[in-house]
Structure 1
């Protein structure tokens, strides 16, 4: 069965209990890509003949595990693995919200006023970083700052 990212995030939000734990240190830098198309299929293997596992929306960040021809084996913020066509990915930095709800602030710090909120699984365009904060922009164009520990991506 094919699920959209929105349905997947809702189901996962119900299941997830506690904070997201990042893996330990790695020996080399991780290469990240983001989805360039409006909707891209993540498949069980490298090729269109393989089963569609998920449908990923524009900007969705993924960690590249390996490359095979024109395909990338990738992993998302929930550690799900699959394959996407390399031509449908890019290097535009994005983050995905890994906490149930995060505050979007006017500036980089808890002393700045809250100007909005984002929910688990929401993809945010990365604009800049400052220490432990990331300046993001929502799909509808609202800019703001979110604590880096609440996000996964660039």
Structure 2
């Protein structure tokens, strides 16, 4: 690990400034999913702002990058986004598959039995993540997939 230079001094441990949302006090950025099957994406955080487009996919993973009152600025895997009312969002974690075929293994090991295969564009629910693997479920199937083949979790993120 490279040392971090702060005001002319080397820090012995890395300094991580975790930003918190002013409304929820939750980390920013963070991942969520679309609760609704349709949601307007606006230029600003109010109903008076113009609708730029409409998300039309329930459970689609999104990343919250800012908060203002009942509004959350989100972006999708392509970096497109805008402001969405918080009622349209869910804390349920999902990912979208970004490779042609993603194997779901019985355990976090590529030599394990393959339980299912997910195609590009499939949205799967995230059950838990370890440093290099996440347990996903989609279409009634469940299994482990190595990180890097889907969007919706941070590379080293761990959660139950």
Q: State TM-score, norm by structure 1.
A: 0.70
Instruction: Provide closer, same or farther for how the CA distance between residues 43 and 120 of structure 1 changes in structure 2, counting only shifts above 3 A.
Output: farther
CA shift, 1:111, in A, is: 0.5
Number of aligned residues: 128
Distance between the aligned counterparts of 2:140 and 2:42, measured in 1? 30
Between Structure 1 and Structure 2, which shows a larger proportion of helix residues? 1
SS at match of 1:149: coil
1:70-113 per-position Cα deviation (integer Å, ceiling 9, x unaligned)? 22111111211222111111211111212232122222121112
Bigger CA radius of gyration: 2
Distance between the aligned counterparts of 1:71 and 1:145, measured in 2? 34
Runs of 5+ unmatched residues, structure 1: 1-25
Q: Is this contact kept in 1: 2:35–2:88, CA < 8 A?
A: yes
- After TM superposition, what 4+ stretches of structure 1 lie above 6 angstroms from structure 2? none
Partner of 1:57: 57
CA shift, 1:38, in A, is: 2.8
Q: How does 1:14-25 map to 2 (within 5 A)?
A: none
Runs of 5+ unmatched residues, structure 2: 1-15, 19-26, 154-160
Q: Is this contact kept in 2: 1:31–1:63, CA < 8 A?
A: yes
CA shift, 1:52, in A, is: 4.5
Q: CA RMSD in A?
A: 2.2
Partner of 2:141: 142
CA shift, 1:115, in A, is: 2.5
Distance between the aligned counterparts of 1:33 and 1:120, measured in 2? 20
Instruction: Provide closer, same or farther for how the CA distance between residues 100 and 136 of structure 1 changes in structure 2, counting only shifts above 3 A.
Output: same
Partner of 1:37: 36
Distance between the aligned counterparts of 1:119 and 1:54, measured in 2? 24
Distance between the aligned counterparts of 1:78 and 1:112, measured in 2? 32
Distance between the aligned counterparts of 1:130 and 1:65, measured in 2? 23
Q: State TM-score, norm by structure 2.
A: 0.68
